[in-house]
Amino acid sequence: MKLNKRFMSIVLTSVMLTAAVGCSKSTETEDASEGLSWETIEDTTSSDASSEESVEEEVVAEEEPVVAAEVPAGMYLSELTGEPIDEALKDQRPIAVMVDNESIALPHYGTSEADVVYEMMNSTQNGRITRLMCLVKDWASIKQMGSIRSTRPTNIILAAEWNAVLCHDGGPAVHINPYLAKEWGTNHFSGTFSRVDNGKSREYTEYILPGDLENNFSSSGFSTTYNEFTPEGVKENHFNFTTWGNEVNLENKGYAKCLDATTIDIASFTHNTSKLVYNESTKEYEYYEYGKQHLDAEDSAPLSFKNVILQKCTFNQLDDHGYLIYNCIDINQPGYYCTNGKATDIVWTKVGELNKTQYFDSQANELEINNGKTYIALVPADTWDTLVIE
């Protein structure tokens, strides 16, 4: 579903102008446009001829055409990362793996190889502990991933927008079964992966190992390629990636507001204290939790991302155990996009279970993001104001 730009310009105005953003690039610009919507600002630029005559004509240099870099032979640009991968994988569905994020479950295996990682509150109890959902396109190359734990309704909905097969180990049946029973939710693997003796309790010993996914697909009969429930546009690009070989720098986009973003502290996640720190040398954000850097146990690689998306999201608690569902189907909700040490305010919209989440910038255009891996946090709306970007 494509949303009309003029419609987005109108409906996003109140959200974007009231979003809590710490600073702007130009105080003069901010003061001049204060209280004006994008529509109003556009109207004021088309003044009558008499006023135009009094303003010296501005000379604008022509922009050089954007040229795409060559994609290596036998490869295509992944719909998850915008980066070249084996062309043989083009029609293959990704998997979405639920990874336990309790401290006792650490260290994680294989998470640094995920293409997209979601982090969200798993329960309102225990310090709002989070769980990761790792999306992987080239799942046949997984050597070890996990440990794997249970899923929640929000994960089922978000996995479906990628047409991904959800890999988990059960969950609160009364809450997840209605979603797993939907036609688009039936393709999932639960509790059918390898056990690794790591000296921990059984709930922390389940991992995806080589051959596990092949066996699961074979025994289930699920399609390994995109099926009829694939949302529109997902097979091409889930995100609006910049042209391959080019780079998005937010300070050059003409946004009214652009923050320094070398540290992103998601204070909402009090149990594991999630934080992303920008590495100037790699130009990526590295993930920290429990007060230390997250390193993959498989190869000691940092869990790092070119793109960070933060979505303000309301939720409903479902029972006294703290189980919940995020209202991830919503319209015109605020957020931030961070890349290359800078951040800007955005708006996100998801109009249905089988529609991908769309992101829009402050100019009411679909957000252009860098090629590379992406981290997405669903930040609870009731603690959104504790988010620190500096």
All structural domains of the chain: 77-389 (3.50.90.10)
Residue 265 C-alpha from the chain's centroid: 16
Residue 136 to residue 139: CA distance in whole angstroms: 6
What pLDDT is stored for residue 340 in this prediction?
98
CA atoms within 13 A on the CB side of 43: 8
Name the DSSP letter for residue 104: G
Could you tell me what percent of the chain has a pLDDT over 70?
A: 83
Q: What is the pLDDT of residues 214-250, one digit of tens each?
A: 999 999 999 999 999 999 999 988 999 999 999 999 9
Write out the two tokens for 35: 């209280």
Nearest-5° Cα angle at 93, 339 to 369: 15
**Cα–chain-centroid distance for residue 132?**
12
Instruction: Give the model's pLDDT for residue 67.
Output: 85
Instruction: List CB contacts of 265: < 8 A, sequence separation 6 or more.
Output: 275, 387, 388, 389, 390
CA distances from 281 to 125, 284, 292 (A): 38, 8, 19
What's the pLDDT band for 31 if we cut at 50, 70, 90? very low
Which pLDDT does position 64 carry in this prediction? 64
Comparing 20-24, 215-219, 317-321, which segment has the lowest mean pLDDT? 20-24
13-18 mean pLDDT:
46
Chain segment 60-95, per-residue pLDDT in tens: 445 567 788 999 999 999 999 999 999 999 999 999
Q: 159 pLDDT exceeds 80?
A: yes
And the tokens for 188?
């999932």
Is residue 301 over pLDDT 50?
Answer: yes
Average pLDDT over residues 138-163: 98
Strands (E), 258-306: 259-260, 263-265, 275-279, 284-289, 292-293, 304-305
Position 33 pLDDT exceeds 50 = no
Q: How far is CA 95 from CA 28, 116, 163, 386, in A?
A: 48, 11, 8, 32
Looking at residue 53, what is its pLDDT?
Answer: 44
Average of pLDDT values for 273-280? 98
Tell me the one-letter amino acid at 78: S
Tell me which residue of 152, 126, 164, 131 sits closest to 315, measured CA to CA. 152
Nearest to 352 by CA among 190, 201, 267, 232: 232
Cα separation, 333 vs 351, in Å, equals 12
Q: In the prediction, which pLDDT does 63 show? A: 56
Say how far apart CA 180 and CA 157 lie, in whole Å: 9
Provide the pLDDT for residue 118.
98
Q: Name the pairing type of β-strands 116-121 and 374-380.
A: parallel
The answer to whether 262 touches 278, Cβ cutoff 8 Å, is yes
Q: Angle 153-160/173-180 helices, nearest 10 degrees?
A: 20
Distance (Å, rounded) from C-alpha 147 to C-alpha 111? Answer: 10
pTM score: 0.86
pLDDT level of residue 185 (50, 70, 90 thresholds): very high
Cβ within 8 Å of residue 48, ≥6 positions away: none
DSSP output for 8-52: HHHHHHHHHHHS--S--S-HHHHHHHTT--HHHHHHHHS--HHHH
Neighbours of 331 (CB within 10 A): 13
